[in-house]
Structure 1
Amino acid sequence: MKSATVSALALSTVLFSASAIFAQELASKDRIGLADAAKTLVVRLTNDSPNNSDPAIAEGYQKLFVEFIKKHPEWKLQMQFMSSDIGTEQAKMLEQAKAGNAPDCAAVDSFVLSQFMVNKVLADFTPYFSKEEVDDLFPFIRAGITDKDQTVRAWWWDTDLRVLYRNKSIVADAPETWDDLKKAALASTKEGMEGVLFNGGRWEGTTFDWLANYWALGGKLVDDSGKPVFGEGENKEKFLKALNYFKDLVDSGAAPKRVSTIANYDDMNAAAAAGTTALFIGGNWQYAQLKTTLDEDEFANWTFSPIPGPTADQRSTGTGGWTIASFSKDKDKIEMCANLAREVYMGPANALQQQLPTRKSLFDKYEVFSTEANKTFAQALVNGQARPGVPIYPEISNQIQIMMGDVLSGTKKPEEALDAAFSAAMEAYKRL
């Protein structure tokens, strides 16, 4: 009996070792799958991958990728990873795609997806996703991944939104309007806080977070043809109203002057941890980060609510996220890329990183999204607004970033800064 037990244990050890060795053979720093696999898919990803800086997330992704490749043993994934300079990475990849030497499958930021569509470099994903799956997407997601012919050109797998975070022990009630937020922020300064924080430095987050205020007024950045219109007529009036609102927050002391240099959501987390702010505008993902960063008692004081609008009934929030798309002309590679989007990213990766799904039904499928916080986020996504899917948007954003820096620092008056931004955007539009 003892001999049989020892033999069983020995066999178990051998099988475990063989399994571990096999797993190692299937995964290296730049490859998933057997090195001698018959087919290769070149994949370029962000840190939403085994390259994640968080060891636990990286390990989780590696497991997902290894399980994926086990279902497709004739393939190996040749992995490439982008730097943190996403704007440059996406621009470079677009040029590669136009020249015909882009990766077979890649992560494409949702706000530049339209540029890839306009240049007709994206493969057709329509055959690989059912009508039910497409219909299950939030409206802005569905609109973002389909071209004018309703062809699915990418799969948008995760999304996010912006909210107002507050420390309940200092700001008890959720501000509903711009005036409410100003009053709450000024009151918090009397408690030793620095007021409300938000992105105001030179990066995309500054534009995107502020746009919620402009959109709440009904303002438009471009017309139906993709031409900039934010600096003329009623749109200009609304734009100036939203811009002056942010300027007044700084001028009144409701927001510190340093917001003109904030260009990272981590700055807000750090301020919350240091106890120097009770209010900040940030992304939904920061809720989990605060839970990890703060002591349990401190975290219990923090909550979130919709971004205040000019009135309680005028609200908007920006929504972003990442897509998986194929640049290949090989049908097998296109299908394999779609499989990667479906089997790794559409659900499993959402749950792994607690990144909001783009399909309504997935909030019920995964327990992590059943929390009250995530249910609230899901409700807000129904009315989320994505950046306009037009080629001129990146330059509009660039000009708004410059404008915001000039206005918040006092270098230029709002209308002067707006006129300069609109003029530059129009000149860029003419060159498209």
Structure 2
Amino acid sequence: MIIKAPLLALTSILALSAGLVANGQAQASDLITGDTVGSASAKKTLVFRMTTDGPRNNDETVAEGYSKLFKAFIAKRPDWKIELQMMSGDIGQEQARLLEQARSGNAPDCAAVDSFVLPLFKKAGVLRSFSPYFQKDEIDQLFPFIRTGITGSDGKIYAWWWSTDLRVLYRNKEIIPDAPQTWDDTKKAALASVKQGMEGILFNGGRYEGTTFDWLANFWGQGGKLVDDAGKPIFGEGDNRAKFIKAVNYYHDLVTSGAAPKRVATIGNYDDFNAAAAAGTTALFVGGNWQINQLKTTLEPEDFAKWTFSPLPGPTADQRSTGTGGWTVASFAKDEEKVNMCADLAREVYMGPANDVQQQLPTRADLYDKYPVFSTDVNKAFRDALKVGQARPGAPVYPEISNQIQIMMGKVLTGTQPTEAAVDEAFKASLDAYGRL
């Protein structure tokens, strides 16, 4: 999952609209207002519920890029207008509300669905098939974990997963010259940074999906599995339990040794890492690929030059993984013409063009060569890291597993419960949730 920034202030939206009018671009076929794309008199309406991946992005350059894409899209379809419904920053709550609306038949025609909850929507049978609207060669170009994520049990695709991300280890090269290759290397590097006045390695450890997802690479890198082929939790059994406990103890040891500050148990926001880097209080953190551009914007050029990233370490240098998330576009429309329109939106605005505008990693291998921005050394490194990427399992019980891991992590990192007991409680609660599905 990618964490979104706040919406544009109303004044910024009005200024953008005013600028379009001033430039003589407010034609009936390409008008963008705060909540509409297209002519108000258009006969057909597509209701699209979206994140800030659009004309309301808080970055003016990104907002302008999306505005151009949406205007070009609607200019080809003068009979249509798009009504934009914006999600709040509470993505979990928003996605739960969207699913309930879909079940009751009150969902928007088209919407952004977070990849990690897509299995719940597929299981509920509320998504319309996109198979008629995407060619086989388009689907074949998707990374394998992306194809699996959007495909239903009937072999049809039910969403278009257009952007992905991954987690890496950021470090200040002046403080930590060499990239840690293992967990032991990471601990030593973090402790060395503490001796130089830093607070050690930072990572999400609070009640937050990022806590689960960032940490899971340590379990997956050992070959651990959360669920079996039927979607039943198995992380608390046999060899999986041993690997799970080992991965939890890695984080626990970072805190108890002083290699990570105790406050990681309350961190639930990637912005905290950017702030710490800007303040010069950390030299090491687990973050998302998108943060490289945020650091470039936040830091002075001479300070940004000190920062780099490397793949997440594993218990050994050969045992590595990284979590891969991202956003999909899916349709709930009863009208097939609107399903087609939603699929066209996913293809023409988001599949490639939006990746380019927002520099969010494409899910199609061929797009890395099409857009120059993804040919940079940085994005080539991200593309290579995706080779060991792993998406959250396509099981309806995953959200509850994640919730239990977050609770468990809080207990372990604060020392209120031993690791094994906390893991066993999380596993039992996850099994109970599976039984209720």
Superposed, 1:272-351 pairs within 5 Å as 272-351=277-356
Correspondence 1:46 to 2:51 = yes
Superposed, 1:260-275 pairs within 5 Å as 260-275=265-280
Q: 1:82 aligns with which of 82, 87, 95?
A: 87
Q: 1:220 aligns with which of 210, 225, 235?
A: 225
2:376 counterpart residue number: 371
The 3-state SS of whatever aligns with 1:221 is coil
State the AA in 2 paired with 1:34: S
Correspondence 1:388 to 2:387 = no
1:259 counterpart residue number: 264
Report the TM-score, using the length of structure 2 for normalisation. 0.94
1:160 counterpart residue number: 165
Shift of residue 307, structure 1, vs aligned partner: 0.3
2:234 counterpart residue number: 229
Q: 2:426 aligns with which of 401, 421, 424?
A: 421
State the AA in 2 paired with 1:143: T
The 3-state SS of whatever aligns with 1:124 is coil
The 3-state SS of whatever aligns with 1:359 is coil
Q: Is the 8 A contact 2:193 2:283 kept in 1?
A: yes
The 3-state SS of whatever aligns with 2:156 is coil
State the AA in 1 paired with 2:111: A
Distance 1:66 1:248, change over 3 A: same
Shift of residue 383, structure 1, vs aligned partner: 2.2
Distance 1:409 1:330, change over 3 A: same
Larger radius of gyration: 1
Matched residues in 1 for 2:168 and 2:275: separation?
17
Shift of residue 56, structure 1, vs aligned partner: 2.4
Q: Is the 8 A contact 1:159 1:356 kept in 2?
A: yes
Matched residues in 2 for 1:322 and 1:297: separation?
33
The 3-state SS of whatever aligns with 1:196 is coil
The 3-state SS of whatever aligns with 1:380 is helix
Matched residues in 2 for 1:25 and 1:166: separation?
45
Q: Is the 8 A contact 2:142 2:365 kept in 1?
A: yes
Matched residues in 1 for 2:147 and 2:25: separation?
41
2:185 counterpart residue number: 180
RMSD between aligned alpha carbons? 1.3
Q: Is the 8 A contact 2:139 2:147 kept in 1?
A: yes
2:409 counterpart residue number: 404
Structure whose residues are more often helix by fraction = 1
Matched residues in 1 for 2:30 and 2:212: separation?
45
Shift of residue 353, structure 1, vs aligned partner: 0.8
Moved more, 25-34 or 216-225: 25-34
Matched residues in 1 for 2:202 and 2:84: separation?
38
Correspondence 1:196 to 2:208 = no
Distance 1:25 1:183, change over 3 A: closer
1:322-371 superposed Cα distances (whole Å, 9 cap, x missing partner)? 00000112111011000000010001111111100000111111111111
Matched residues in 2 for 1:19 and 1:331: separation?
35
1:146-169 superposed Cα distances (whole Å, 9 cap, x missing partner)? 112220100000000000001111
Shift of residue 23, structure 1, vs aligned partner: 6.6
Matched residues in 2 for 1:331 and 1:412: separation?
53
Distance 1:64 1:333, change over 3 A: same
Equivalent residue pairs, number: 417
Shift of residue 426, structure 1, vs aligned partner: 1.2
Matched residues in 2 for 1:153 and 1:169: separation?
47
Distance 1:332 1:311, change over 3 A: same
Distance 1:179 1:32, change over 3 A: same
Shift of residue 25, structure 1, vs aligned partner: 6.7
Unaligned runs of 5+ in 2: 1-20
Report the TM-score, using the length of structure 1 for normalisation. 0.95
Shift of residue 24, structure 1, vs aligned partner: 9.2
Matched residues in 2 for 1:298 and 1:370: separation?
24
Distance 1:36 1:260, change over 3 A: same
Q: Is the 8 A contact 1:65 1:344 kept in 2?
A: yes
Identity of aligned residues (%): 68
Correspondence 1:36 to 2:46 = no
Q: 1:170 aligns with which of 161, 168, 175?
A: 175
Q: Is the 8 A contact 2:30 2:71 kept in 1?
A: no
Unaligned runs of 5+ in 1: 1-15
Shift of residue 18, structure 1, vs aligned partner: 8.2
Q: Is the 8 A contact 2:207 2:266 kept in 1?
A: yes
Shift of residue 231, structure 1, vs aligned partner: 1.0
Q: Is the 8 A contact 1:23 1:66 kept in 2?
A: no
Q: 1:108 aligns with which of 101, 104, 113?
A: 113
1:376-428 superposed Cα distances (whole Å, 9 cap, x missing partner)? 10111122100001110000000000100110011111011111111111111
State the AA in 1 paired with 2:403: N
Shift of residue 188, structure 1, vs aligned partner: 0.9
State the AA in 2 paired with 1:149: D
